């Protein structure tokens, strides 16, 4: 069965308006001297989806919502860190489809204060009308979400629980669909993308892309993940498991092996959600050179990884490198003091 046919059999609620644009990053190429090395850089604008401020999680939510509807759900329960982009988009999606939404948010990052606790995604969760359960340290979010679903069920309601950043097999299918979308765009553009660079948090986006490329008969190693949550080896194992689960769900052969998945741990720094200078520099470079917004937790670190890999000579003449802009810019407001108070790093950042 083709990937396209397999996808058409999955329940889905359309949240995107056609393919997201692919744009050349020429001013970044100039700043890096990448053009001189013959490397062409592109951004896929998954940050440009409209609902709820947009971002990569909408692709997962299309299939999660489809599954929820097929199960008759009237409530969406999502878990995440306090500044979770997935939680924000789950709340926006629930608002759009008339579902109740409850968010179970855990303190995954050692930060507090008004900037972090009452701004960015937390502010938007509230505007979208979600009921928020802020967990103290040490309480497991998935357990609490399942307990809450059981309570609602006793009251005659039907809750759909989406944990792990939406990276269940169902959620991962959203990025298998994205692999197909990228390849259709590559055909239109007349050139293939030799590498696709992504952040790896709960591993679902990379897993979905890997599953998609496998299903298309293309090498999944073209997807380069930069882990922002787990050590690289752990993220790699999770990516393989999720890719194979997604393939099985689609009715395709779950045949992805460990050595077919590429994840780097170089940008994790001190840990999940903890800023690094390389991330701050990468966010500033993308903003000041292209007018585009990365986020401090995921895409900022992944783009920093891409910049370092280019500097290290990992890419060469003729490479068309596609970076997926995953959204998450509301997170910038929760980290404002790291940017406004931070020394500007590389000369490229100061240069206009």
Ligand X SMILES: Cc1ncc(COP(=O)(O)O)c(C=O)c1O
- Binding to ligand X by residue 121, rule CB under 6 A? no
Q: How far is the CB of 74 from ligand X (least distance, A)?
A: 25
Of the two residues 167 and 195, which places its CB atom closer to ligand X in the complex?
167
Q: Which helix (H) or strand (E) holds 75?
A: strand 75-81
Q: Which of 55, 174, 212, 330 binds ligand X (CB under 6 A)?
A: 55
Q: How far is the CB of 254 from ligand X (least distance, A)?
A: 18
Catalytic site includes residue 227: no
Exposure string for 174-183, b = 16+ CB within 10 A, e = fewer:
bbbbbbbbbb
Q: Which of 6, 22, 59, 86 binds ligand X (CB under 6 A)?
A: 86
Q: Which helix (H) or strand (E) holds 76?
A: strand 75-81
Catalytic residue among 2, 4, 8, 84: 84
Q: Which of 52, 54, 120, 201 binds ligand X (CB under 6 A)?
A: 201
Six token digits for residue 223: 């997807």
Of the two residues 86 and 116, which places its CB atom closer to ligand X in the complex?
86
CA angle 247–252–255, rounded 5-degree value: 65
**Cα separation, 208 vs 151, whole angstroms:** 32
- Binding to ligand X by residue 327, rule CB under 6 A? yes
Distances (CA, A) of 144 to 79, 162, 300, 314: 9, 12, 31, 44
- Binding to ligand X by residue 200, rule CB under 6 A? yes
Q: How far is the CB of 263 from ligand X (least distance, A)?
A: 10
Tell me which residue of 339, 300, 332 sits closest to 53, measured CA to CA: 332
List strands edge to edge, sheet with 223-227.
22-24, 40-45, 320-325, 195-200, 223-227, 262-264
Binding letters toward ligand X, positions 285-324, x by CB under 6 A: ----------x--xx-------------------------
- Binding to ligand X by residue 264, rule CB under 6 A? no
**Cα separation, 225 vs 305, whole angstroms:** 9
Binding letters toward ligand X, positions 125-144, x by CB under 6 A: --------------------
Of the two residues 56 and 75, which places its CB atom closer to ligand X in the complex?
56
Tell me which residue of 91, 121, 85, 119 sits closest to 103, measured CA to CA: 91
Residues of this chain that bind ligand X (CB under 6 A): 55-57, 85-86, 165, 167, 199-205, 295, 298-299, 326-328
Catalytic residues: 84
């Amino acid at each position: 069965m083709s990937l396209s046919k397999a996808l058409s059999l999955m329940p889905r609620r359309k949240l995107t308006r056609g393919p997201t644009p692919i744009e050349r990053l020429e001013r970044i190429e100039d700043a890096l001297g990448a053009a001189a090395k013959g490397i062409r850089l592109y951004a896929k604008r998954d940050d440009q989806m409209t609902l709820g401020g947009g971002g990569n999680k909408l692709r997962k939510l299309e299939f999660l919502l489809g599954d929820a509807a097929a199960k008759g759900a009237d409530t969406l329960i999502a878990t995440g860190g306090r500044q979770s982009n997935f939680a924000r988009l789950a709340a926006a999606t629930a608002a759009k489809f008339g579902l109740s939404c409850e968010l179970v948010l855990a303190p995954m990052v050692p930060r507090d204060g008004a900037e972090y606790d009452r701004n960015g995604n937390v502010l938007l969760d509230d505007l979208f009308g979600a009921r928020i359960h802020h967990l103290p340290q040490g309480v497991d979010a998935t357990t609490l979400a399942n307990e809450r679903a059981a309570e609602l069920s006793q009251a005659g309601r039907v809750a759909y629980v989406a944990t792990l950043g939406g990276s269940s097999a169902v959620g991962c299918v959203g990025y298998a669909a994205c692999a197909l979308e990228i390849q259709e765009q590559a055909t239109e553009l007349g050139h293939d993308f030799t590498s696709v660079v992504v952040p790896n948090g709960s591993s679902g986006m990379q897993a979905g892309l890997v599953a998609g490329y496998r299903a298309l008969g293309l090498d999944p190693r073209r997807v380069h993940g930069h882990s922002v949550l787990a050590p690289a080896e752990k993220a790699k194992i999770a990516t393989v498991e999720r890719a194979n689960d997604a393939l099985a769900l689609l009715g395709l052969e779950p045949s992805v092996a460990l050595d077919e998945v590429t994840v780097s741990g170089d940008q994790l720094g001190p840990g999940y959600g903890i800023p690094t200078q390389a991330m701050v520099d990468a966010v500033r470079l993308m903003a000041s050179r292209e007018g585009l917004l990365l986020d401090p937790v995921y895409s900022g670190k992944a783009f920093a990884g891409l910049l370092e890999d280019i500097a290290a000579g990992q890419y060469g003449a003729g490479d068309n490198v596609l970076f997926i802009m995953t959204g998450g810019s509301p997170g910038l407001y929760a980290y404002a003091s790291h940017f406004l108070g931070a020394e500007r790093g590389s000369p490229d950042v100061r240069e206009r």
